[in-house]
A and B are shown apart, each in its own frame.
Chain A
């Protein structure tokens, strides 16, 4: 299929429909409004459900219901809206319901601003809601990757019966790039039957029950352990990352999403000054890819985590490097995007002057 020029938000919506999603619940918030607008137009045409809820709290609980009935369901919002959904996300994880949640991040805390940010890394990868649970978190850095990851997100959600989060930001949501949907398995045919879904007794002998309440501590602990077996499996099988120019790098940048694109410009700038800079780009933020650090830690001199936050992913970088090499951080916050020249300056600084 020929490429089309689309905003990241639109590509996300179209990819979801092409991957078989027929249920979308949402509530408007900048900078992800194009998803809601796109779904409002497209869903009725493909026989799907578009519903603008009265609030984010309501929308996420609609996801709980639709997902519980076995539907392939998408919900999107931006940072403050995602905060409002955290209770529901915890329930969904506890009740083991697959769904895809996209967060098109903006600056915070509080209402913050509407410009792009990456300051919800902790919220996305370390819990967000209450209780012992994990989201599988995928972070695209191009519009094409946004489209491709949406399909994967739905499949991963079904495979683990777990919510999967797509973590983007205002820039990825708003910018346009050529995109095709050739990598998407079309329609609902490839989706496995969900025998656990609450679709009515039919010919079943046993009731399907979806619930996140368990008052018996022994039983709840058993449930926690089962959930963690699942996360253990995901942490082996769902790791995704990209390495660029790492072979002989003296400094390796670690960056995801939008800022990883800036990092690629930095690699080129640094080449002009004979500084060999590489890039590790985590695509899965949880599970966080440790492997590229194992591959590089012996020869690289230092790592520099660059983020559109005050420093969040850098903690996972430090865990992966585990004290074997110095780990530095550079970031801008509040909707500011670091410029390549500023990152290069930081590289010069941590390299100790001239070189």
Chain B
């Protein structure tokens, strides 16, 4: 296994946390992982992305030039990272905020209205966990146990947020099979 995932969106959408959850889960499953954040003069509302590699082999460059998965949480992210997907790669689009489609036809595209689902659940901040759920239902990158433990790790010190995020994660998994997701 050698998954190279780019998570991207704007600051405040929990982009770094999405990457951390997958990285922790990969580590807990005994995989080699690396997590590389963008660290420009970033701020809330600005752009943010992180590159996560989960692999059976030691990780070479942590920079991802050929992504197997791109999770785009806003439109600039889609426009910027679509080209980095390998042919046949998976593109997850947050359709609540992105009203355009991808340019390419050689990739698998899934639209998840993550913000709308999060709003229904009463907390906009869990849109990221919904997307992690959607991603996991498409591809078993890491084990279910590891993801749950990863949520506990990432929300260490903010334990009261764990249940709602795990709920969001499960809703995300369901969303792939629901009316919202259009392949």
Contacts and interface: CB of A to CB of B under 8 A. Distances in A.
Main secondary structure of the interface of A (DSSP, over half): mixed
A191 to B, nearest CB: 32
Contact-residue bracket for chain A = 20 to 34
* Among A5, A115, A262, A268, residue most surrounded by chain B Cβ atoms (within 10 Å): A5
Interface stretch (B5-13, B57-65, B93-101): B57-65
A29 B9 CA distance: 26
A341 B60 contact: no
A177 B61 contact: no
Interface string A157-196: 0000000000000110011111000000000000000000
A268 to B, nearest CB: 8
A5 B65 contact: no
Contacts of B63: 171, 262, 337, 339
Interface residues of B, number: 21
A341 B63 CA distance: 12
A207 B79 CA distance: 69
B56 to A, nearest CB: 14
A38 to B, nearest CB: 16
B165 interface: no
B2 to A, nearest CB: 11
A177 B59 contact: yes
B155 to A, nearest CB: 14
Contacts of A264: 60-61
Contact of A114 (B23, B34, B35, B39): B39
A270 to B, nearest CB: 13
Contacts of A31: 39
Nearest to A342: B65
A175 B19 CA distance: 11
